[in-house]
């Protein structure tokens, strides 16, 4: 792919040259969480970390070393992870609790609902290893239902950053924002498409690429796939795609979604999650109420994952660039 500057710069989006795949930097989004948590703990000693025996995997290990008096290890006890955090939050602390997303919030959902959300406690969940790109760990560890179970809970903020740089920013901002929150990130290395200068605000989606034929609304590490697919669609078919980084699933930027629907007349949603109940479903709810247009959904289609190479699993479950392009073409045909 030729190296060019990313569209969106004119609007102040400051992206890296994502079209030059050969030189693009790749880091796990979990690294951004680890770096952000260390910085948050230095800025405010009330920020504490609690982990369920996965400090290295979740990247809480660095926080443990940098701020040992602010770190707690409780072993494999995810329900207690939430309960302990709720007590610390009631005493004025800002707890981050970390495990694989499949176990927290997966295993601890009732405690999350009651202790965190019902009481509006200031607890933050770091849901690591989300999506099928966990790879060889297989279906038991691949959280592809977590967005659905979290966004339905009242008072819960749900954030799915697009790369490691944005994950760090989200960690810092959530640490300074009162209320229960869920930060979802992945295990495998993924493309970095933003820079330190790229703006980030909770509840404010970002247009990374402009176009008026089809809007691709994506979250998480698949934002990069959406950008690549949009470039290929323009080169192959002359289709101009708008790419929206919809990083805050709740509260979602309804105005940005409606603007995409009005400006493009068709939408494709892209997420590393079940198509039922996830980010795409939230987009459809907004569109149905405010500006109905054809929508196609890219994600896992009502099945469980399996062990395999992360990149191969993304392709196998229909979330690669080819699947996104096919969905965009279907959405465009439905406009007429």
Per-residue pLDDT of 193-250, as tens digits, reads 999 999 999 999 999 999 999 999 999 999 999 999 999 999 999 999 999 999 999 9
Fold equal for 9-18+198-335 and 26-191: yes
Say what the pTM is.
0.94
Give me the pLDDT at residue 23, please: 78
Task: Give 26-52 pLDDT, tens digit per residue.
Answer: 999 999 999 999 999 999 999 999 999
CATH of domain 26-191: 3.40.50.970
Confidence of residue 9 (pLDDT cuts 50, 70, 90): very low
Task: Give 250-309 pLDDT, tens digit per residue.
Answer: 999 999 999 999 999 999 999 999 999 999 999 999 999 999 999 999 999 999 999 999
Torsion of CA 237, 239, 240, 243, to 10 degrees: -100
Give me the pLDDT at residue 5, please: 33
Query: What architecture is the 9-18+198-335 domain classified under in CATH?
Result: 3-Layer(aba) Sandwich (3.40)
Q: Give me the mean pLDDT over the 181-197 stretch.
A: 95
Token output for 223: 């934002």
Strands 189-191 and 26-28: antiparallel
Instruction: Give DSSP secondary structure letters for 65-77.
Output: HH-GGGEEE--S-
Give me the pLDDT at residue 18, please: 73
Pick the catalytic residue: 35, 78, 271, 296?
78
Token output for 203: 């509840």
Is 78 a known active-site residue?
A: yes
Question: Any idea where the domains of the chain sit in the sequence?
Answer: 9-18+198-335, 26-191
Continuous segment of H or E residues that includes residue 214? strand 214-218
Number of Cβ within 10 Å of residue 301's Cβ equals: 12
Buried b (16+ CB within 10 A) or exposed e, 127-155: bbbbbbbbbeeeeebbbbbbbbbbbebee
Instruction: Name the nearest CA neighbour of 243 among 336, 203, 263.
Output: 263
Task: Give 71-119 pLDDT, tens digit per residue.
Answer: 999 999 999 999 999 999 999 999 999 999 999 999 999 999 999 999 9
Give the span between the Cα atoms of 47 and 239, in whole angstroms.
47
The dihedral built from the CA positions of residue 205, 125, 105 and 189, taken in this order, carries a sign that is: positive
Strands 241-245 and 124-128: unpaired
């Amino acid at each position: 792919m030729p190296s060019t500057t990313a569209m969106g710069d004119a609007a102040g989006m400051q992206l890296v040259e994502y079209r030059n795949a050969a030189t693009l930097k790749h880091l796990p989004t979990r690294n951004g969480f680890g770096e952000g948590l260390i910085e948050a703990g230095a800025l405010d000693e009330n920020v504490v970390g609690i982990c369920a025996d996965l400090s290295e995997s979740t990247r809480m290990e660095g926080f443990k070393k940098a701020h040992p008096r602010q770190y707690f290890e409780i072993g494999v006890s995810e329900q207690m992870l939430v309960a302990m955090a709720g007590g610390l939050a009631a005493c004025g602390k800002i707890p981050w609790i970390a495990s694989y997303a499949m176990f927290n919030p997966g295993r601890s959902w009732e405690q999350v609902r009651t202790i965190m959300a019902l009481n509006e406690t200031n607890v933050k969940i770091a849901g690591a290893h989300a999506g099928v790109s966990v790879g060889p760990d297989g279906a038991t560890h691949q959280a592809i239902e977590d967005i659905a179970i979290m966004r339905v809970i009242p008072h819960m903020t749900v954030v799915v950053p697009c790369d490691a740089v944005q994950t760090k920013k989200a960690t810092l901002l959530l640490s300074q924002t009162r209320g229960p929150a869920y930060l979802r990130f992945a295990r495998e290395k993924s493309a970095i498409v933003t820079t330190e200068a790229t703006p980030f605000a909770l509840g404010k989606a970002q247009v990374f690429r402009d176009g008026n034929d089809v809007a691709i609304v994506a979250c998480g590490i698949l934002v990069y796939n959406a950008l690549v697919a949009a470039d290929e669609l323009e080169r192959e078919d002359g289709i101009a795609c708008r790419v929206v980084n919809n990083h805050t699933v709740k509260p979602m930027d309804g105005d940005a979604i409606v603007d995409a629907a009005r400006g493009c007349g068709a939408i494709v949603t892209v997420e590393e999650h079940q198509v039922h109940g996830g980010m795409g479903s939230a987009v459809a709810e907004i569109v149905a109420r405010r500006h109905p247009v054809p929508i196609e959904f890219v994600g896992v289609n009502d099945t469980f994952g399996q062990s395999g190479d992360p990149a191969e699993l993304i392709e196998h479950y229909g979330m690669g660039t080819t699947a996104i392009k096919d969905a965009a073409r279907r959405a465009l045909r439905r406009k007429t």
